[in-house]
Structure 1
């Protein structure tokens, strides 16, 4: 293939609402290559008849809203289960030109996809019903009840069976919000809390702690300039004391700092390499199993007191803000643009 000259390439970043456009675009503008022209838009700003988009971009030191022709590549940052808009865009600009087609995953569907290649790293997970929730609590003593389409720990309940026979139900913090005297009372309360939403039940993990605080390990996996999955970084969110939800975090740091605090450096490095290997396998499995065209995702791990790694969940729209306080993390924002460049260059039309 002949090397292409660096003509200006227009890439669009699709976000959920107009308020997000400037904030998101500013992050990527700082990391774009000179030959890239970026604009940010929402689904409602697409004019399907004229094949144009009213988008926000930055030109001559100011923010400008103008009408663009359909871009060369679209990077989807809308957190949604719907693919309708992306499918219409693909019909217009090409099926290989839109990535992260759908990025709000059904946690149970992802669990099923990962359960064969990565079974040793998955806590037992089943769809919620009152009988199953009672049986698994008897088996594991601690459960997490999660919405299938939840995010940032919202709607997650921790359930613990005490030796006294009481059952504690808590949200965000280990201290119980509700204490059930027996299993029927626990079932009734949980049914009321969950309502009609789809939930799953996940085996609780005896979490390793750092300075008496729960932490997770999040691997950010993104496609690079060669179109290949690679691990951009591995960070840890340290929850506030008494809190099990790491989305409500006291601090964020690189995971090697946490692991090397807990273990000798060689052992910590083995954990990190294992995390990288599992995360790459998870990304490949999710993309091939769902049939979605993806460009990034994150894999959240917990480490238990027996030094065993567990995949807690996979996120289709990684939260980028958690990386902003780290120096040298430009790749978080640069990689999606490099992958967009790759898609342009490797399009059948080019």
Structure 2
């Protein structure tokens, strides 16, 4: 015979009315399966909440000590940085929203105790760190983000970027139009033939791709044949193919590219390190005054023969100054190029945020460099991966928290405390 065990939780009588719970005279609560975490008081001047919205990013099961596999350490460091600036961080999933109570079930890091699951007031500021595009497209996650905005919560970095929208915004902005290689949206074979003959080297990128998946390079050779190279999805090695002519390449493209969903970008002859292509991975963030500031950058060198420089595909890391000097025809230009990189990143961030009309706090950029020192924006990302360089990472955490504090202080003047509770269903799926 199977026995069902019921979890029993002891709850303070002073806390339980605020949670809408019924308890026995001894303070015992029968919950059936899961214990309800202890509530915390509303955030006040000494306890301002900065929320981070997350979903699972891998298949590793969460534990009490490691509630966010792959990102627990990052959120711990952000929490410690926030505590030094007088903020409290709560990390939560969409299913943790208690809509009618304007509360959220979240994990809070407490020094000396580790991660503690609590019921917190609804944060006034939330950073959207939903793990991937597939998760972000799920209806219950979109409903959660929409509901947060309805509650006047300031959600920054609201979505993953669409590559075509990024290129279109930057190409049509006077400040940034010369910083992006010519890019068009694929419409069909005739267009691909024309661009390949004109540009001779093209990168074909899925507009909603990430991690280098699906990127194809087409190169028109002197003998009229077309060299094709692409990354196998999830694989570490590049596949290659040689086609007879541009018409054959266009026919191949028709089978692999969706009109309206693939960007065709002119290939730029970039500087190389030891025969391998490389680019610069940069981070730009808003500061404590809400202004865009260059945080830092590092070199990323592709594995031999690879189409992209992603480290998971065998790429390696180089210090920024070393990477710039090694790639320049005149290494003496390096300080000027580095200063130009900072300006370029700040301009691009401001232009992109304005073009989207949404609130952003940070972007990462992939920047290519010619031997002459000219810089090109190749990619921009609204959910930057953690940088491995310790100094850059610490500054990135500090800037992120400083921007959240800026939003909280700015928002205190505008928030309406008398909003009526929402009667929507308490829990969405996570």
Structure 2 length normalisation: TM-score?
A: 0.73
**Which residue number corresponds to residue 31 of structure 1?**
81
Say if 2:347 is the partner of 1:281.
yes
**Which residue number corresponds to residue 185 of structure 2?**
127
Aligned length, in residue pairs: 341
**Which residue number corresponds to residue 397 of structure 2?**
333
Say if 2:374 is the partner of 1:308.
yes
Matches for 1:237-256 after TM superposition, within 5 Å: 237-247=300-310, 248-256=313-321
**Which residue number corresponds to residue 56 of structure 1?**
107
Aligned with 2:146 (options 68, 84, 87): 87
CA 265–29 in structure 1, closer or farther in 2 if over 3 Å, else same: farther
Q: Choose 1 or 2 for highest CA Rg.
A: 2
What are the Cα deviations for residues 20-71 of structure 1, in whole angstroms up to 9, with x where unaligned? 5635422412422332211211222212222221211223423222222211
Q: Which moved more, 1:148-157 or 1:158-167?
A: 158-167
Assess if the C-alpha contact under 8 Å between 1:75 and 1:336 holds in 2: no
Aligned with 1:153 (options 212, 218, 221): 212
Assess if the C-alpha contact under 8 Å between 2:271 and 2:327 holds in 1: no
Aligned with 1:187 (options 228, 247, 250): 250
Say if 2:178 is the partner of 1:114.
no
**Which residue number corresponds to residue 299 of structure 1?**
365
Assess if the C-alpha contact under 8 Å between 2:333 and 2:373 holds in 1: no
Say if 2:121 is the partner of 1:69.
yes
CA 164–261 in structure 1, closer or farther in 2 if over 3 Å, else same: closer
- Please provide the CA RMSD for this pair: 2.4
Q: Which moved more, 1:272-281 or 1:175-184?
A: 175-184
Distance 2:307 2:184 in 1: 21
Distance 2:370 2:325 in 1: 16
Distance 2:406 2:98 in 1: 26
**Which residue number corresponds to residue 141 of structure 1?**
200
CA 324–262 in structure 1, closer or farther in 2 if over 3 Å, else same: closer
**Which residue number corresponds to residue 384 of structure 2?**
318
Assess if the C-alpha contact under 8 Å between 1:14 and 1:40 holds in 2: yes
- State the shift of 1:282 in Å: 0.7
Q: Which moved more, 1:110-119 or 1:229-238?
A: 110-119
What are the Cα deviations for residues 142-166 of structure 1, in whole angstroms up to 9, with x where unaligned? 1000000111211100111112222
Q: Which moved more, 1:232-241 or 1:78-87?
A: 78-87
CA 328–168 in structure 1, closer or farther in 2 if over 3 Å, else same: closer
Distance 1:324 1:306 in 2: 28
Distance 2:221 2:296 in 1: 38
- State the shift of 1:87 in Å: 3.1
**Which residue number corresponds to residue 3 of structure 2?**
none
- State the shift of 1:227 in Å: 1.1
- State the shift of 1:349 in Å: 4.4
- State the shift of 1:182 in Å: 2.5
Aligned with 1:228 (options 286, 291, 298): 291
Distance 2:122 2:322 in 1: 44
**Which residue number corresponds to residue 41 of structure 2?**
none
What are the Cα deviations for residues 151-184 of structure 1, in whole angstroms up to 9, with x where unaligned? 1211100111112222121114997522222333
- State the shift of 1:190 in Å: 1.9
CA 212–183 in structure 1, closer or farther in 2 if over 3 Å, else same: closer
Unpaired runs of 5+ residues, structure 2, are 1-43, 57-61, 63-67, 416-430
What are the Cα deviations for residues 272-294 of structure 1, in whole angstroms up to 9, with x where unaligned? 11111111111111111110100
- State the shift of 1:296 in Å: 0.4
- State the shift of 1:238 in Å: 1.1
CA 176–159 in structure 1, closer or farther in 2 if over 3 Å, else same: farther
Aligned with 1:12 (options 35, 51, 56): 51
CA 37–311 in structure 1, closer or farther in 2 if over 3 Å, else same: same
Assess if the C-alpha contact under 8 Å between 1:240 and 1:249 holds in 2: yes
Assess if the C-alpha contact under 8 Å between 1:168 and 1:176 holds in 2: no
CA 324–176 in structure 1, closer or farther in 2 if over 3 Å, else same: closer
Distance 2:331 2:226 in 1: 40
Assess if the C-alpha contact under 8 Å between 2:189 and 2:250 holds in 1: yes
- State the shift of 1:251 in Å: 1.9
Distance 1:49 1:260 in 2: 57
Unpaired runs of 5+ residues, structure 1, are none
